[in-house]
Amino acid sequence: MAGQDTSTFKRLINIGLALSAEKNIDNLMERILQEAKSMANADAGTLYIRSEDDQLKFEILLNDTLDIAQGGNSGNEITLPPVAMYADGGKPNNKNIASCAANTGMTIVIDDAYETDLFDFSGTKEFDRVTGYRSKSFLTVPLKNHQEEIIGVLQLLNAKDPQSGEIIPFSPEMKPLIEALSSQASVALENTHLLQEQEQLKKELELKVQERTLELKTALQKLSRAHDMLKELTTFDAVTGIKNRQYFDEAYDVEWKRAARQRYPISLLLLDLDHFKSVNDTYGHIAGDECLHTIANGIAAKLKRPADILARYGGEEFVIILPHTYNSNAYLLAEQIRNHIEALPIVADGNELQITISIGVATITPRQDNDRKELIAAADGALYEAKGLGRNKVCISKL
């Protein structure tokens, strides 16, 4: 007898280890019921799980005689309705053996369902009538978590005599063994549910982090675009619609450094409208602004390369940066601009005007030790020379 007790104890330990190692909830529930059936030598069994609305839902149903395997990993759906733990009015439903075990927290043993009036076995008897089965002995054990809360019910049906196979009552010695196994099963179920909840929370947290990261990324992208738009707006001259002096200073600095590194020539054109003060004095500043806008567009129309930069330098002066351009080509472009502006019809505030332009051209291949102001000063000197020659002229610096 002692040897049998030791063997049973070891079996319970091994079952507990196997249950604790199983992480898949369907596999775990199926393993619980199969181990309980095997230990009690039961022909059939059912595992119920308590739902949040106090229903005992059929999760696994096994019957060897009828060759039934439903729920779990069987792929066969259990169509039986759940068992309510409470009747209408909130009273405990103790007429059903499974819900009674859940409500009382006590193990219930029935030797023969057909010879007791303690419970309503009408559903069981209808099942027997339809299938030809004979439900007799029941061992129903509540499953409790660590807080002694009912999380389900394990029910075994029809214990079999190991020798004859005859259906017999569950022995008194089997009750504590199945209760011990149920206790292990409850711990394993609770742990698996906790792991699943943690995994779900982890996924939800990861999803929220992804959502927040995406929101932050989107917000940063919008902020970056807004910043770029604002920067773009601050680089335009409101009157002419071309780049302003601030943009020129930054772009010229970048282009100068690049030309110094790569050793290529850079040309600068300084353009000044001839006698423009008289336009403002005679026709007013509105006409003067319209005139500046028209001329800026006229100059821009002669620039064909994306790298060429036109900006308003100040007042009625404009500046053009021409990377990779020698003075001869810069001079040709300056002449084209001068001729174009001279022939450009200008209507400002209803007045037809004719404007000419003077241009100074300077070219240099920068070195690291050059002062970038040197090229501007050279172009400005050439512009001064053009004006001194009577205006509407292009002069090249001797730099």
DSSP-derived 3-state class of residue 184: helix
CA dist 135 and 43 (Å) reads: 10
Q: What are phi and psi of 86, to 5 degrees?
A: -130, 140
Beta strand pairing status for 55-63 and 68-71?
antiparallel
| Alpha helices per DSSP H over the chain | 2-21, 25-40, 97-104, 122-131, 174-234, 245-262, 276-283, 285-300, 327-343, 373-388
User: What residues have CB less than 8 Å from 92, skipping those under 6 apart?
Assistant: 85, 86, 99, 100, 103
Q: What are phi and psi of 195, to 5 degrees?
A: -65, -40
CA dist 31 and 278 (Å) reads: 101
The yes-or-no answer on residue 316 being catalytic is: yes
CA dist 35 and 182 (Å) reads: 10
Which residue type, as a one-letter code, is found at position 68?
I
User: If you search the block for the tokens 């308003």, which residue do you land on?
Assistant: 312
Q: What are phi and psi of 89, to 5 degrees?
A: 90, 0
Q: Which two tokens stand for residue 354?
A: 């004719």
Of 150, 166, 147, residue with least CA distance to 158: 166
CA dist 356 and 358 (Å) reads: 7
Q: Which two tokens stand for residue 202?
A: 């982890």
User: What residues have CB less than 8 Å from 42, skipping those under 6 apart?
Assistant: 36, 139, 156, 157, 158, 159, 160, 170
Cα 1 vs. chain centroid, distance in angstroms? 63
Beta strand pairing status for 351-353 and 346-348?
antiparallel
**Candidates 255, 290, 316, 317; catalytic one:** 316
In what helix (H) or strand (E) does residue 370 lie, and over which residues does it extend?
none
Q: How far is the CA of 141 from the CAs of 14, 120, 182, in angstroms?
A: 20, 17, 7
Sign of the torsion angle spanned by Cα atoms 243, 247, 251, 256: positive
Report, as residue numbers or ranges, the catalytic residues. Answer: 316
